[in-house]
Structure 1
Amino acid sequence: MRVALLTTTQHGHLNPYVPAVNALRAAGSEVELLLLSADGGALDERRRQALGEVRVHAVGQVEMAPWSGDPAKIGPMLRSSPVADRTAEVIRATAPDFVLVDSLPVTASAMAGTQASGVPYGMIWANLGGVCPSEHRRGRWAYDEQVGDYLTEHGVLWSKRTHSARSPILNLMPTIAALVGDDAVTDDGVELVGLPGAPGTRGDEVAFPALDRLDPGRPVVYVSFGTIFHRRPDLLRTVITGAAETGAQVIASVGDLAGELALPDTVITAPYLPQREVLERADVFVTHGGYNSVAESIRAGTPMLVIPLAVDQPVQAYFVGRAGFGTALEPADVTGQAVTDAVADLLDPARDYRARLRAAQPQCGDSAARTAELVIGAIETLQRKVEQ
């Protein structure tokens, strides 16, 4: 049995799919990784090692800048992209039994190529956009409409209620009911498979000995805006200093910005941190709302202050607030005092954030293992139909 997984080089997409690839391999499948290079990114050696015996195939390049530019240019860009033809070519050459496609707007050309290949495919998401009602996808309408028009032209199903693609066979959303609740659009074939972020090697692990120096008698606030959106020194400085005003110990992942921030000596910074490990020690997580960060925070039982900066992050902010797992601040509303007040509220045990997160723990599961189980089940069902 051979499965192809199609995704991009972005950390937020590779991180959850490394365990999924390994779960498929552990279940006896051969796996082909079809990779779109985002802004020239590549598969680094550590992640390559974490993937084990997997063949990697480049299917083209995608650029992120156009998705913040003129929406009218998105449709023509997708139609002129060589990615669709290249994807179909690679799929036919590798001859998988099934393709699992990372569903997001920048992979739309690859989705069209997958449809053209004639090989059965399913959709999987690395954010909550695939189940979010369209009224909560603020600011993305014009881009969504361009993507929807392009995909429907190529025979790919499109959900107007969520503004996202669908497979006629398998649609996997790595989340839990405790997070998305009754607001989630799942009655058109989407299955919840548990949260990403379960224990296991992903290739992004780093040492952080400063954790051992923390005062166990004081709360810990962890601040990170991820690997793409951290380059906002003024915002980052305001958030960190506002969190520090609560008297908490602040740990911050700041990329290469440490020299620009002029932070108090009490703040611990590092370019990149072992996030799952830090979250186990943190009492509050201040995050941009990337979905892997949200999922890992839920697994750790750590309340969140979400400051959504772009793309799907407002969707995650909405669901975190809906579930009572944290609160949100719009970037325009961020002041030192606003952050201090929000963090103090999240630290207050009477507010029950941690109690709600603890109650959600039995649902977390292992999205990678469940994904492998469902993909293999779908292939077996398809094969039985052929034999009949």
Structure 2
Amino acid sequence: MAKIFSSSLGGSLFKDERFLYQEFVPERLPFRDEEISELVFCLKPASEGKRPTNVFVFGKPGTGKTVSLKFVLSELEEFSDRAKCLYINCFEYSSKQSIISKITNFLGYAVPSRGISYAELFSKFVAVLRTKKVLPVIVFDEAEQLLKSEETKSLLYDLARLPEQQKLSIGLAFISNDNFFLSQIDDRIRSSLQCSSIPFESYSPSELKEILRERAKYAFNEFALDEDVVPLCAAHAAKLGGDARIAIDVLLKAGRLASREGAKKVLVKHVRASFTQEKPVKVEVTSNLSEQERSILDLLKKKKSQDSGAIYDTLKDKFAERTLRAALAELEEKKLIVSEKEIKGRGFTRIVKLAGS
């Protein structure tokens, strides 16, 4: 049966397609020097075993948040044996028991994730941390998931108060697409965390082209790309909000399509064909929404068309109007809603609808 795979391979245009994988961390991150410098400034004390400044990294999907932080932490561990870094995706680890178990196991003490109370788990974690000469830096990606339940909120409180209550140092980094993550945290927790906020802006079309060319240089054989392929991938991703992961993913899929048909080059037609295979990327857009963005979408699912004033009135007990205005702008930029101005009395209002409705 293995013949069905060998017969469908075609001639590969790739030198090493792994350079286009989402988990790949490049040795150079174009257009992120300023953000990386800020991360280094905040985390450098950990290299001396001192408590670093906690960081909150935020921005739209595909702006280099996760890869930049992973790059900096990898460099930190290479530079010093005093810091030890752990990455946790909060979709995968969503309860405080599973998170504390993961951290404690990471520190070298095996504990189960079930069948033991959180209080006992946390006590073991503290005891293990006291014995270590390294300072752990814990990264929480998709950090907005921590705010979905009271128990994970309480975990944030426990971790934030470690220096004060246990006299133990730990570094915390939070990555989120939700710019309002910190403002949604309880004042006491936010005060204890004292996070430095580092925004990541969307890439411009020219920046996306440079990023793609850098990756393509290592991923494809020489002369494997038609000259219009990279600009089209970049323009497509720019239209969808400047998401570098979309651009890279489209290039990978286009390369595979061209290889499958035995083409001598990746052509524009392969790029256009790859656009139809983007659904997995789209899932991230809808699964990483802020609480206010989800609330607005829930309203619009019940009533397909609403004016902005009605949305503000309905949700005013949960969110400030300024927060809702920002959420509407974000949803429109993510192409999940559309809006148009309409005359109302002596002024204007915005009529908001779900995209495609």
Q: Same fold (TM over 0.5)?
A: no
Q: Per chain length, whose mean CA-contact separation is higher, i.e. which structure has more relative contact order (CA < 8 Å, sep 6+)?
A: 2
TM-score normalized by structure 2? 0.34
TM-score normalized by structure 1? 0.32
Structure with greater helix share of residues? 2
